[in-house]
Structure 1
Amino acid sequence: MRIAFVKQKYVPFGGGEGVLQRLMAECTARGFEVHLITGSWLLEAAPVTVHRVRYPRLSREARMRGFSRAAAREARRGRYDTVVSFDRTEFQDIWRAGEGVHLVWLQRRRLFEPWWKGVLTAASHAHRCILRLERTAVEVSRLIVTNSKMVAADIARVYGRKAEAKVRIVYNGVDRCLFRPDDKKDQRRAFRCEMGLTEGDLLLAFVGSGFRRKGLRELITVLRSLRRVFLVVAGRDPPGPWIRRARACGVAGRVRFVGPRQNPAGFYHGADLLVLPTWFDAFPNSTLEALACGTPVVTTRFSGSAEIIQPGRNGFVVDRPDDSSALADAVHAGLELGRSGVSRQIAETVADMTVEKCAERFLAAIGEMAGTRSEVGSSCLR
């Protein structure tokens, strides 16, 4: 089978990129002829055939629309059996909705942003473009793969029953060779030494880019009520505004910013608890990675990863990021769980969520498309 994957660009430390890399490797191992249509991909992709397309890059809207059209032309030339897109595009057989439903995100932002930002967002050509591309992606795709029940429900609510019937849920997977509880003792000691902390210090971890969306503001606010608790933040966002926020809350001395991490396993081992009080997250890989390392997690119901949290066993879920009292209580309980010596039991709660299982389930969805092209998707390529 000749299969083409579509991804506009490679973003270091991106969760979608990791899923795509593993999926391409599994496809080549099964003898498929694999192609990648992209605008920018920095990693070695052999034996995948990479097709780099050119498109306007003057604005965000121009980049999104331009890539979708350029990728469609490339797919038309290739005449692939199946086209799988990891972006909001307008020609695929299968769309992986890994970023969630954009309209839901825009609605969620109103809960914490000032009113004037909502006005600017509503007038944004880029956001309108995303909404148009997403609606088209839903309409033309034969199947839609989501990474959580939350996103599946959002698609059904926003786009109706016809879209709901196309959805297949494939949870993300974790590499159990990289993320496992066996290495906790040594990596924990090394990471805490790097951070200038002792074994007796209570340590929270926050991992991911898009700090505002993922609830860092709310976590720093809650840190004021958590005595002798430290916070380490990993992600590619500029730390300046958040350092100022920590100073304003009087906790700057207990917050460390370490930037993005190529291999975050030591980060999870070093922490007592991962806290992601997110406002919107389809399914952050950091949650799964932390649990696989035996580190409990506190998150919110606005994250798809809340579906794998078993309260009291591997973490806790709060309703809203801005409920400071509930978040503080969950963090206290999570710290107790993280210090109770049950890392192996925590890791067991996600034992079947491996990268191999994720690829296998995604390939089952691709199998539904084997040897065929979506009538609607194919018409977009003519």
Structure 2
Amino acid sequence: MNIAFLADAVDPARGGADRCIVEDARGLAGAGHRVSVLTGPGADLGAASLVEEVRIRVPRFARERRVAAFAEGTGAWLNAHREAVSVSFAPSGPVDVHFPHGGCWKAWREAEERSFLDPEAGRRRGRQIDGNARQMLFRGMEERLMRSEKPPFLIALSGRVRDDFVRSYGIDPVRCEVLPNALGARSPASDGVRAEVRARWGVPSDAVIGFFAAHNFRLKGLSALVQAVGALPEPARDALTIAVAGKDSGVPFLREARALRCDHVFRFLGALPSLHGAFAASDFLAQPTFYDPYSLTTLEALAAGLPVVTSRANGASEAVLAAGAGWVVDDAGAADALATVLGQAIDPAARSRAAAAARSAPTPITPKDRLDRLVSILERATSGPRSTRCS
């Protein structure tokens, strides 16, 4: 099969979705398929052997104009290579398959508003998004793509993402498949690493550590976590440490915690080069996100044998529930409900049962099975009428 990935600024060194896209390209090429990755300025495929990089020429415009120029350039390339099965990972022009690793734009927009504890602040954020030319371009591109006469086949990382697209655009569920990320190799915590990392953090050996990691602290639920910790009974609160990793500023969240007299619970670590040591030092992952299509951090925590506290807005909560390896709240913004499950995560017996479930959880999908399913989906997606560009 001849496959074209549209991946504007992909860089596997950033991890997350970028790493998954490049790994899929390498896997397909290694299986004998011809894979071209169409990239724009700032992309770096790394050592993507067997993969052909096609650099789309994009003038140095403002960011929103660069997005449009990349869409035009990839459209021209695809029209000249009609045999290629085209796969987009962000809103684009017409393609055969849309595999949005960032989820549904409309659902993300709604989550951005909900992630503010102050409703008026949330509405201001909504107006800010609606006034951003680049975001409005993404919105328009997604709507045109999904409401077109021949919309692409949709691959969703989770049932949550599939349902978001069905709700937002009325797409036919028959033209959609759920394909989650593969769970990495299991990496159980080492007692030696655990003690060393805790000593470096200055956390007592008998403390209960909940680990929170994100690039966007607010969207991933740190304010919600602060409110929930503030609602805990004092003995439970004093037994808990929340270790926070990421580049975001902790100042506003410490201010919120100080107002609730729980700032002593939170330790801000900055960005970490690897999460392995943090998983070893921690007792559970705290990820009460307002939006995450399918969190790789959740999968990595499960692989490390950590139970998980998260929300249904995290597509990977499906794996947590299937394994019984943690606790899932319906709404990250419900402080009392989140405090209740935090109390269970702090309880040694409940946490031990969830950790045992995480350690023994069956792998949701292996990398090989995932690659085989991806090939099958691409073949199915192009077995009938193709996208507008191929009409």
5+ residue gaps, structure 2, are none
Between the two structures, name the one with larger relative contact order (CA 8 Å, sep ≥ 6).
1
In 2, Cα distance between equivalents of 1:355 and 1:333: 33
1:354 counterpart (358, 363, 366): 366
In the superposition, relative to structure 1, how do residues 4 and 174 fare at CA in structure 2: closer, same or farther (>3 Å)? Answer: same
Listed as ranges, the matches of 1:87-106 within 5 Å are 87-106=90-109
Deviation at 1:73, TM superposition (A): 2.4
In 2, Cα distance between equivalents of 1:48 and 1:373: 27
Amino acid in structure 1 at the alignment position of 2:364: D
Deviation at 1:371, TM superposition (A): 8.4
Deviation at 1:87, TM superposition (A): 1.5
Partner of 1:324: 335
1:345 counterpart (351, 357, 362): 357
Deviation at 1:341, TM superposition (A): 6.8
Partner of 1:231: 242
Contact 1:95-1:141 at 8 Å conserved across structures: no
In 2, Cα distance between equivalents of 1:357 and 1:61: 37
In the superposition, relative to structure 1, how do residues 342 and 175 fare at CA in structure 2: closer, same or farther (>3 Å)? Answer: same
Cα RMSD of the aligned pairs, angstroms, is 2.6
Contact 1:141-1:377 at 8 Å conserved across structures: no
2:157 counterpart (142, 147, 157): 147
In 1, Cα distance between equivalents of 2:359 and 2:60: 43
In 1, Cα distance between equivalents of 2:22 and 2:324: 32
Contact 1:275-1:298 at 8 Å conserved across structures: yes
Partner of 1:41: 43
In the superposition, relative to structure 1, how do residues 302 and 342 fare at CA in structure 2: closer, same or farther (>3 Å)? Answer: closer
Listed as ranges, the matches of 1:111-260 within 5 Å are 111=114, 112=116, 113-114=119-120, 115-138=123-146, 139=148, 140-162=150-172, 164-176=173-185, 179-181=186-188, 183-224=189-230, 225=232, 226-260=237-271
Q: Which range is displaced more, 21-30 or 254-263?
A: 254-263
Partner of 1:335: 346
Amino acid in structure 1 at the alignment position of 2:278: F
1:275 is paired with a residue whose SS is strand
In the superposition, relative to structure 1, how do residues 21 and 120 fare at CA in structure 2: closer, same or farther (>3 Å)? Answer: closer
1:279 and 2:282 matched: no
In 2, Cα distance between equivalents of 1:45 and 1:78: 22
Amino acid in structure 2 at the alignment position of 1:33: R
Deviation at 1:20, TM superposition (A): 1.3
Partner of 1:263: 274
2:7 is paired with a residue whose SS is strand
Partner of 1:83: 86
Contact 1:205-1:268 at 8 Å conserved across structures: yes
Deviation at 1:169, TM superposition (A): 0.4
Q: Deviations over 1:230-275 (max 9, x none)?
A: 1111223244433444444444443222333343222222211111
In the superposition, relative to structure 1, how do residues 365 and 76 fare at CA in structure 2: closer, same or farther (>3 Å)? Answer: same
In 1, Cα distance between equivalents of 2:245 and 2:344: 23
In 2, Cα distance between equivalents of 1:252 and 1:350: 37
Contact 1:147-1:171 at 8 Å conserved across structures: yes
Q: Which range is displaced more, 150-159 or 122-131?
A: 122-131
1:294 is paired with a residue whose SS is coil
In 1, Cα distance between equivalents of 2:100 and 2:37: 18
Contact 2:78-2:84 at 8 Å conserved across structures: no
Deviation at 1:80, TM superposition (A): 4.3
What is the percent sequence identity of the aligned residues?
A: 25
Q: Which range is displaced more, 31-40 or 122-131?
A: 122-131
In 2, Cα distance between equivalents of 1:220 and 1:275: 11
Contact 2:323-2:361 at 8 Å conserved across structures: no
Amino acid in structure 2 at the alignment position of 1:364: S
1:109 counterpart (109, 112, 118): 112
Contact 1:215-1:321 at 8 Å conserved across structures: yes
Deviation at 1:202, TM superposition (A): 0.9
Amino acid in structure 1 at the alignment position of 2:110: Q
2:321 is paired with a residue whose SS is coil
Contact 1:291-1:350 at 8 Å conserved across structures: no
Partner of 1:71: 74
In 2, Cα distance between equivalents of 1:311 and 1:4: 34
Deviation at 1:319, TM superposition (A): 1.9
In 1, Cα distance between equivalents of 2:279 and 2:361: 16
In the superposition, relative to structure 1, how do residues 19 and 184 fare at CA in structure 2: closer, same or farther (>3 Å)? Answer: same
In the superposition, relative to structure 1, how do residues 339 and 194 fare at CA in structure 2: closer, same or farther (>3 Å)? Answer: farther
Contact 2:88-2:99 at 8 Å conserved across structures: yes
In 2, Cα distance between equivalents of 1:32 and 1:338: 47
In 1, Cα distance between equivalents of 2:102 and 2:159: 13
Contact 1:81-1:373 at 8 Å conserved across structures: no
Contact 2:7-2:89 at 8 Å conserved across structures: yes
Contact 1:53-1:71 at 8 Å conserved across structures: yes
Listed as ranges, the matches of 1:45-64 within 5 Å are 45-64=48-67
In 2, Cα distance between equivalents of 1:37 and 1:338: 48
Deviation at 1:304, TM superposition (A): 1.5
Deviation at 1:211, TM superposition (A): 1.2
In 1, Cα distance between equivalents of 2:315 and 2:50: 33
Amino acid in structure 2 at the alignment position of 1:220: V
Number of aligned positions between the proteins:
375
